[in-house]
Each structure stands twice: as structure tokens, then as C-alpha cells.
Amino acid sequence: MVNNNSPRQIAEIVENSLREFNDGMAHRENLSIRIGRRTTQIIRFGMTSMLMLGAALFYLIYILTSDFAVIREHMEKMSIHMSSMDSNLTSVASDIGQVQGTLTAINENITIMPAMNSSVSNMDNSLITLSGDMHSMVEQIHTMNSTVGNMAANLQLMNKQFTDMNITVGHMAGNVNQMSKPMRMLPFQ
């Protein structure tokens, strides 16, 4: 086969080939830049979503720790009232011991009529002491009732705070679902 191509024709063929190669390389470079931009957008969106989710989680942790601080404060108040009740019960036990001693003395003094007068006066004193102790115990029971009422109010407040926290967590779940919707539209799943 004879080569009828002149050097000018060969140069044009080489020039056309190089131009097409250059166009192909430029198209490949543009495609790489588009892929890089899209990857950067995906990474930015993912990092933004992670930051928002992290902020929401830190806020939830903050709410939980503040609620537990309130619960601890109420428990300390309850502990103070319980120790007060313990001392009151000890007082009642000692008063019952005094009543038992008085009844034993009455039993012994019933058999002896002349000593009955002194026994009755001792009994009067013991009953006066018992009456004072009973009044003191009634006041402490009133205090305990108000403390239990405060505790019930605090438990209702805690219940409301847990309900509010459940609602907030529900909203967060909806927000997370809402945040994930753009990722569902991307072809990289």
C-alpha cells in the first residue's frame, strides 16, 4: 500500500487528534471537579448534621443533669424530714415506756389504799407529760403532713418535667427524620 498522505495532511491529522485528546482531558478534568464539589457538599452536609445532632444531645444531657440536681435537692429535704420523724418516733417510744412504768406503779398502788393518793398525783404528772408529748407529736404529724404534701407537689413537678422531656425527645426524633430526608434524595445510599 502506497502512502499518499503529504506531510501537511499528516500534520492536520495529528493536530486534530491532539485537539480531540485535549478536549477529552478537559472534559475529564471538569468531571473530576464536579465529583469533588459534590463530595465536598455531602461532607459539609454530613458534618453540619452531626454538629446539630451533637448540640441536641448535649442539650438533652444538660436538661437531664439539671433535673437530677432538682431530684437530689428534694431527696435531701426528704432525708431531713425522715430524720425528724425518727427522733419523734423515739420520743413516742420513750413516752410509752413512761406510760408502762406508770401503769405498773398504779397496779402496785391499787392494793394499798393510803398510798393511792401519791400514786394518783404521780399518774397526774405522767398524764400531763403524756398530754404535752401527744400535743408535740400532733404538731410534728402536722409538719409531716405538710412535708408529704410538698413531696407530692415535687413528685408532680418531676412527672411534668419527665413528660416535657418525653415530648422534647419526640420532637427531636421528628427533627432527625426531617434532617435525614435530604440524604434519601441523594444517589449515594
The per-residue pLDDT for range 113-159, each reduced to its tens digit, is: 556 567 667 777 888 887 888 888 888 888 888 888 888 888 898 88
Torsion of CA 99, 103, 104, 108, to 10 degrees: 150
185: its cell numbers: 434524595
User: What span, in angstroms and rounded, lies between the C-alpha atoms of 99 and 84?
Assistant: 23
pLDDT value, residue 58: 92
Supply the pTM of this predicted model: 0.31
**Residue 112 confidence (pLDDT) above 70:** no
Are residues 122 and 108 in contact, defined by beta-carbon separation less than 8 angstroms? no
Q: What average pLDDT does this structure show over 23-48?
A: 92
pLDDT value, residue 109: 66
Local confidence band at 28 (pLDDT 50, 70, 90 cut-offs): very high
User: What span, in angstroms and rounded, lies between the C-alpha atoms of 184 and 189?
Assistant: 7
Average pLDDT of the chain to the nearest whole number: 82
User: What span, in angstroms and rounded, lies between the C-alpha atoms of 173 and 51?
Assistant: 16
Task: Identify the residue with better confidence: 104 or 25.
Answer: 25
User: What span, in angstroms and rounded, lies between the C-alpha atoms of 186 and 181?
Assistant: 9
pLDDT value, residue 3: 61
**Residue 25 confidence (pLDDT) above 80:** yes
162: its cell numbers: 419527665
pLDDT value, residue 26: 92
